[in-house]
């Protein structure tokens, strides 16, 4: 038996197949990043990735093929 969130994902996907983003493919990057500025120091953020995941799920629900 499927858990509720997984079942809702399948239903949203089935409904979204004819959505306004149907036929489009999106790549979503989510989470913290770290970029070196020299051999010792880095610029970083402590992002949780929640916004990226929410955007990916919304696009999927509207019919897009989403990779994250």
Question: Is this model's pTM higher than 0.75 or not?
Answer: no
Catalytic residue selected from 1, 4, 40, 45:
45
For the chain, list residues with pLDDT below 50: none
What ranges do the domains of the chain cover? 4-67
What are 12-23's pLDDT values in tens digits? 777 766 788 888
What angle, 0 to 180 degrees and rounded to 10, lies between the N-to-C axes of helices 4-16 and 50-61? Answer: 50
Residue 20: both structure tokens together: 């306004």
How many Cα atoms are found within 13 Å in the side-chain-facing hemisphere of 47? 14
Torsion of CA 13, 17, 20, 21, to 10 degrees: 70
Is 45 a known active-site residue?
yes
């Amino acid at each position: 038996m499927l858990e509720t969130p997984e079942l809702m994902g399948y239903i949203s996907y089935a409904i979204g197949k004819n959505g306004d983003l149907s036929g489009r493919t999106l790549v979503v990057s989510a989470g913290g990043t770290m970029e070196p500025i020299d051999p010792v120091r880095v610029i970083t953020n402590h992002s949780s990735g929640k916004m990226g995941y929410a955007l990916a799920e919304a696009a999927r629900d509207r019919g897009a093929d989403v990779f994250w």
